[in-house]
Structure 1
Amino acid sequence: MQRDRLKGLYVLTDTSRFEREELVKAVAASIEGGARIVQYRDKSDDVARRREEAAALAELCRIHQRLFIVNDDVALAIEVGADGVHLGRDDAPLDETRARFEAEGLDAIIGVSCYADRLRAERAAEQGADYLAFGAMFPSPTKPHAPGAPAEVLGWARERLGRPVCGIGGITARNVADLMTYRPDMIAVVSEVFAAPDIRAATADMVRAMATA
Structure 2
Amino acid sequence: MEVMGKSHSITGGIYLVLDPGMEQELLLNKLSAALAAGINVVQIWNNWSAGIDKLKWVEAVAGLCNTYHVPLFINEEWQLLTQCQGLQGVHFDTIPTNYKEIQQTVGRPFLSGITCSGNLKTVEWAYQHGFDYVSFCAMFPSPSAGSCDIVMPQTVKQARGMTNMPIFVSGGVTPENIALLKKETPFDGVAVISGILSAGHPQQKVKEYQQALAAV
Instruction: Could you tell me which runs of 5 or more consecutive residues in structure 1 were left unpaired when the two chains were aligned.
Output: none
Structure 2: how far apart are the matches of 1:54 and 1:122? 31
- 1:131, 1:165 within 8 Å by CA — same for their partners in 2? yes
Could you tell me which residue of structure 1 aligns to residue 77 of structure 2? 73
- 1:69, 1:77 within 8 Å by CA — same for their partners in 2? no
Shift of residue 162, structure 1, vs aligned partner: 2.8
Could you tell me which residue of structure 2 aligns to residue 129 of structure 1? 131
Do residues 5 (structure 1) and 23 (structure 2) align? no
Do residues 195 (structure 1) and 204 (structure 2) align? no
Instruction: Could you tell me which runs of 5 or more consecutive residues in structure 2 were left unpaired when the two chains were aligned.
Output: 1-5
Q: 1:45 to 1:76 in 2, by over 3 A?
A: farther
CA RMSD of aligned residues (A): 2.0
Q: 1:78 to 1:97 in 2, by over 3 A?
A: farther
Could you tell me which residue of structure 1 aligns to residue 62 of structure 2? 58
Q: 1:173 to 1:38 in 2, by over 3 A?
A: same
Structure 2: how far apart are the matches of 1:29 and 1:125? 33
Identity among equivalent positions (%) equals: 24
Q: 1:26 to 1:101 in 2, by over 3 A?
A: farther
Structure 1: how far apart are the matches of 2:143 and 2:96? 26
Query: TM-score of the superposition, structure 2-length normalised?
Result: 0.87
Structure 2: which amino acid aligns with 1:31?
A: L
Q: Aligned with 2:204: secondary structure?
A: helix
Could you tell me which residue of structure 1 aligns to residue 3 of structure 2? none
| Paired positions, count | 209
- Map 1:94-109 → 2, pairs under 5 A: 96-109=98-111
Could you tell me which residue of structure 1 aligns to residue 20 of structure 2? 15
Structure 2: how far apart are the matches of 1:202 and 1:33? 9
Structure 1: which amino acid aligns with 2:74?
A: V
- 1:20, 1:49 within 8 Å by CA — same for their partners in 2? no
Q: Aligned with 2:9: secondary structure?
A: helix
